[in-house]
């Protein structure tokens, strides 16, 4: 069982997901779950939502995830760190980052090699956060053009900003073409729409 670990600069993990309207609720269980739009900060991913059972493996990986999170929050690594996940069934930690031998060495200094999978991704958490902010600011404009955006969130493992829409097959090409010059986007069927505050 793989547990995704979101992030925050000093709060809760996972890059924040922003949803349409003011009645959203934050959740760490699903990366495409909505987070309130009032939040203008999208910190780096943070550990770690525990799975139902507290196994020794989970406790060990959670400890390592917290150490990696602390590294990722350091100023010298913010430009490369993207996120961290715990893979309980594989008994390993998945660390997402841009290419950086210095960061990789720092991670290996705290996580045993047999528990570590370093994955190179194109964008850091901060870059994805900027994309989330920019796209979230366009929600009203897209609605006026007939595209209903239901959620916006960072997917560090995929290296994209995930956009949840009502009609992904129809809207995917338009959204990808619009944002491709600034940030990669993944367009999916959005979860239940949270209505905007009246």
173 lies in some domain: no
58 lies in some domain: yes
pLDDT at 35 over 90: no
103 lies in some domain: yes
Task: Report the number of distinct structural domains present in the chain.
Answer: 1
88 lies in some domain: yes
Termini Cα distance of the chain:
40
pLDDT tier, 29 (very low <50, low <70, confident <90, very high otherwise): very low
Tens of pLDDT, residue by residue over 114-168, are 999 999 999 999 999 999 999 999 999 999 999 999 999 999 999 999 999 999 9
Q: Span 97-104, mean pLDDT?
A: 97
Give Rg (Cα) of the chain.
17
24 lies in some domain: no
Note the pLDDT of residue 45: 45
126 lies in some domain: no
Class of residue 10 by CB neighbours under 10 A (exposed 0-12, middle 13-18, buried 19+): exposed
What's the domain range around 95? Answer: 2-14+43-120
Collapsed DSSP state (helix, strand, coil) of residue 135:
helix
149 lies in some domain: no
95 forms bridges with which residues in the sheet? 84, 118
Q: Residue 13: CB partners within 8 Å, gap ≥ 6?
A: 5, 6, 7, 28, 45, 46, 47, 48, 49, 69
Which CATH number fits the domain that encloses residue 85? 1.10.287
56 lies in some domain: yes
Q: Span 83-90, mean pLDDT?
A: 91
pTM assigned to the model: 0.67
Q: Span 170-193, mean pLDDT?
A: 90
Asked if 194 and 21 count as a contact pair (C-beta separation under 8 A), the reply is: yes
């Amino acid at each position: 069982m793989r547990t995704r670990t979101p992030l925050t600069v000093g709060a809760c993990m996972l890059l924040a997901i922003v949803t349409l309207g003011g009645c959203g609720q934050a959740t760490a269980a699903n990366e495409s779950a909505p987070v309130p739009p009032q939040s203008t900060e999208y910190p780096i991913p943070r550990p770690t939502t525990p799975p139902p059972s507290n196994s020794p493996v989970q406790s060990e990986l959670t400890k390592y995830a917290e150490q990696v999170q602390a590294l990722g929050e350091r100023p010298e690594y913010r430009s490369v760190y993207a996120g961290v996940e715990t893979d309980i069934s594989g008994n390993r930690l998945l660390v997402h980052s841009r290419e950086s031998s210095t960061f990789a060495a720092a991670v290996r200094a705290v996580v045993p090699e047999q528990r570590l999978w370093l994955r190179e991704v194109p964008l850091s958490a901060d870059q994805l956060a900027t994309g989330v902010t920019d796209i979230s600011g366009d929600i009203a404009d897209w609605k006026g053009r007939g595209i209903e955006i239901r959620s916006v969130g960072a997917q560090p493992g995929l290296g994209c900003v995930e956009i949840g829409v009502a009609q992904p097959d129809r809207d995917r090409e338009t959204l990808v073409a619009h944002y491709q010059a600034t940030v990669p986007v993944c367009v999916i069927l959005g979860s239940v729409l949270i209505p905007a505050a009246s």
